[in-house]
Amino acid sequence: MPARDIIIVPHPTLRTKADRITDFGPELQELVDDMIITLHQASGAGLAAPQVNVSQQVILVEFGSDEDEDIPPILYVAANPKITRFSQEIVSGAEGCLSIPGFMGEVERAQEIVVEGQDRYGKPLKMKFQGWIARIFQHEIDHINGILYTDRTSRVWEADEDYNPV
Ligand code: ZN
């Protein structure tokens, strides 16, 4: 289970709409396991399969507690994720991306979303998120549609070291 290389802009896979997952067999399981290692090695908060040059609709989002480091982070794996509801409330926040190293940008996102899809074994998922984790899901789901956060912002700056790219 090796970490995979994270591709960076302007790699064309980052601009390709990823294929739906239809086979939840060993190849997908290996991809997900490799992505988890890759995410941890990169100290990211989220990762989409296109970022490891696999054009398939699978994403990871890892949400830790900033207040208490003893609480283990929760790792979400979603196949074929789709946002089925966006709140009217929009919040502006800073995002960085593992595929656009060294930069951050100000991006407006829905404060609350409902995500539907499947887990890594094909079981249906429906989850509601708000705040920072909702932002990460929106960022990762953009990745599987070939969209980058820089498409959604006019303000990008050089990042300092202390940030969690996704
Ligand atoms: Zn990203």
pLDDT band at 163 (very low <50, low <70, confident <90, very high): low
Q: 71 CA to middle of ligand 1, Å?
A: 25
Which own/partner contact pairs does 23-29 have at CB distance under 8 Å and 24+ positions apart? Answer: 24/79, 24/118, 24/120, 24/121, 24/122, 28/56, 28/58, 28/79, 28/120, 29/120
Q: 103 CA to middle of ligand 1, Å?
A: 11
Residues less than 5 Å from ion ligand 1, measured at CB: 97, 166
| Residues carrying an active site annotation | 140
Q: 70 CA to middle of ligand 1, Å?
A: 27
Q: 51 CA to middle of ligand 1, Å?
A: 8
The answer to whether the bond into 10 is cis (omega within 30° of 0) is yes
Per domain, the residue ranges of the chain are 12-158
Model pLDDT for residues 93-138, shown as the tens digit of each residue: 999 999 999 999 999 999 999 999 999 999 999 999 999 999 999 9
| Residue with token string 């900033």 | 66
Model pLDDT for residues 21-64, shown as the tens digit of each residue: 999 999 999 999 999 999 999 989 999 999 999 999 999 999 87
Task: Assess if CATH 3.90.45.10 describes domain 12-158.
Answer: yes
User: Half-sphere exposure (CA, 13 Å, Cβ side) for 163?
Assistant: 19
CA distance linking residue 16 with residue 137, whole number of Å: 18
Q: Token pair for residue 73?
A: 């982070």
**pTM here?**
0.94
Q: 117 CA to middle of ligand 1, Å?
A: 19
Select from 65, 61, 101 the least CA-distant residue to 83. Answer: 61
Q: 49 CA to middle of ligand 1, Å?
A: 10
Q: What is the pLDDT of residue 161?
A: 67
